[in-house]
Amino acid sequence: MIIDGKEIARQMEEETKGMLEKLAEKRGRKPRLALVAVGNGDAELYVKNIEKKCLEIGIEPLSQIFRADISEKEVTDYIKVLNADKGTDAIVVHRPMPIPDAKIIATVDPRKDAYGYFVPSRSAVANAVITILERSGTVIAGKHAVIISRSRYHGLPIAHQLLKKDATVTVCHSKTFDLSWHTSQADILVSAAGSPGLVKGEMIKSGAVVIDVGMTRDGDKWVGDVDFWTANQKASAITPVPGGVGPVALAMILNNTADIFSTNGV
Q: Measured on CA atoms in the order 136, 139, 141, 142, is the torsion positive or negative?
A: negative
pLDDT in tens, 6-22: 999 999 999 999 999 99
Angle between helix 42-57 and helix 245-263 axes, rounded to 10 deg: 50
28-115 is classed in which CATH architecture?
A: 3-Layer(aba) Sandwich (3.40)
Could you tell me if 124 and 249 are in contact, meaning their C-beta atoms sit under 8 angstroms apart?
Answer: yes
Residue 62 pLDDT exceeds 50: yes
pLDDT in tens, 153-182: 999 999 999 999 999 999 999 999 999 999
25: exposed, middle or buried (Cβ count in 10 Å: 0-12, 13-18, 19+): exposed
122-245 is classed in which CATH architecture?
A: 3-Layer(aba) Sandwich (3.40)
Residue 265 pLDDT exceeds 80: no
Angle between helix 42-57 and helix 5-27 axes, rounded to 10 deg: 60
Query: Which parts of 22-180 are beta strand (E)?
Result: 32-38, 60-66, 90-93, 144-148, 168-172
Shared fold status for 28-115 and 122-245: yes
Output the pLDDT for position 263. 86
Residue 214 pLDDT exceeds 50: yes
Residue 189 pLDDT exceeds 50: yes
Which has more confidence, 7 or 39?
7
Output the pLDDT for position 266. 45
Q: Measured on CA atoms in the order 35, 40, 43, 48, is the torsion positive or negative?
A: positive
Q: Cα dist. 177→171, 172, 183, 257 in Å?
A: 12, 9, 11, 40
> Where in the chain are the domains?
28-115, 122-245
Mean local confidence (pLDDT), 51-72: 96
Query: What is the percentage of the chain residues whose pLDDT exceeds 90?
Result: 89
Output the pLDDT for position 218. 86
174: exposed, middle or buried (Cβ count in 10 Å: 0-12, 13-18, 19+): exposed
3-state secondary structure of 113: strand
Q: How confident is the model at residue 112 (pLDDT cuts 50, 70, 90)?
A: very high
pLDDT in tens, 70-90: 999 999 999 999 999 999 999
Output the pLDDT for position 11. 98
Per DSSP, 166 falls in state T
